[in-house]
Structure 1
Amino acid sequence: MEALTFERTLTELDHVRLLNLLRRDPLGEGLPGRGHDVEDLLDASAIVPSREVPPDVVTMYSQVLLQDLQTGQRSTLTLCYPADAEPAAGFVSVLSPVGRSLLGLRVGSVARWATPVGEDKSAEVLAILFQPESSGDFSL
C-alpha cells in the first residue's frame, strides 16, 4: 500500500475549528471567499495533534514572513479567524484567498492565490516568526 503524502499539515484543533466555522455557514455566503475552497483544503491536509505539529508549519495565529515572488517585497502577516481579521494591521483571515493559501504550508513553500480583481499572486514563506504551538500554546 502506497503512503499518502500531503502538501499541507493542520493541527487537530485548527481542523475542528475550521470545520465548525464552515458548518455555521456551509456555503460560505457570509465569508470572504468560498467555504468549499476551505473544505477542500481541510480534506486534503494531514492532521496532527497540536503538540506534534512541526515548528515550520503555518498554523492559526502564526506570524509569517513572506517574500513576493514578482516584486521581491517582504511582508509579515498573521493568519487568523475572520472575527480577528484586520488586513491593514497584517491580520489576514484564513478564509481570504491569501489566508487559505498559507494555512498548513511549511517554510520554503510557495503560497499562490488570486486577488479580488483576478490578479495572480505568489509568495514564498521565508520564516515563521511566531507559531502558538512552538510557544507552548495549544489552545489559540
Structure 2
Amino acid sequence: MSRKPSRPRVIIARNQMETLERLAEGALSRSPDLADRLLAELSRAKVVAPGALPADVVGLGDRITYRDETTGKDQQVTLVLPEDADIASGRVSVLTPIGVALIGLQAGARFGWETRLGEARELTVLEVQRDA
C-alpha cells in the first residue's frame, strides 16, 4: 500500500474564507464532488486576518505562475470567483479542480490534483502576484 504524500499547508484570509464557504455550500447540489473538495481544503486551512495573508500565498484575484511537473510547462492564471472566470483570458474559477488545488497555497508548494478527466497531475506553485 503506497502512502500519499502530505498535502501542503493552506492559508486563507478570513474575508475570503466566508466567501469561499458560501460558494462551496451553494455548489453542493450542482457539483457535489468539487464542493466537497473545496470544503475539505477550507476545513484544514489556517485562517488569518486579511492584512496578514503572506504576499506569496494564493488568494482570490491573485496571479499565479505554476509548473505542471508532468509536462514541464509553466502556466500563469488568475484565480477568480466563478462569475469572473474566462479561461481564454487566463482567469480560472476557484470552483474548478485547479482552482480548489491552488487556493491558499504558498509559493514553492508542490501538490497533486486530478483534472476533470481524472488525470493525476503534480504542480508546483512558482510565484504569486497580488493585485494591488
| Structures share fold, TM-score greater than 0.5 | yes
Structure 1: gaps spanning 5 or more residues: 1-5, 136-140
* TM-score after normalising by structure 1: 0.82
Structure 2: gaps spanning 5 or more residues: 1-7
Residue 71 of structure 1 deviates from its aligned partner by 1.8
* TM-score after normalising by structure 2: 0.86
Q: Cα deviation per residue 1:51-83 (whole Å; 9 max; x = unaligned)?
A: 011111001111011111122111101111111
Distance 1:75 1:107 in 2: 14
Question: 1:97, 1:115 within 8 Å by CA — same for their partners in 2?
Answer: yes
Task: Give the letter for the 1:131 counterpart.
Answer: R
Asked if residue 104 in structure 1 is aligned to residue 104 in structure 2, the reply is: yes
Deviates more, 1:116-125 or 1:99-108: 116-125
Distance 2:32 2:76 in 1: 21
Task: Give the letter for the 2:22 counterpart.
Answer: N
* Match among 15, 22, 25 for residue 23 of structure 1: 25
Question: 1:28, 1:36 within 8 Å by CA — same for their partners in 2?
Answer: no
In the alignment, which residue of structure 1 is the partner of 2:77?
A: 77
Task: Give the letter for the 2:18 counterpart.
Answer: V
Question: 1:33, 1:97 within 8 Å by CA — same for their partners in 2?
Answer: no
Aligned residue runs from structure 1 range 87-102, under 5 A: 87-102=87-102
Task: Give the letter for the 1:123 counterpart.
Answer: L
Please, what is the CA RMSD of the aligned residues? 1.7
Q: How many residues align?
A: 125
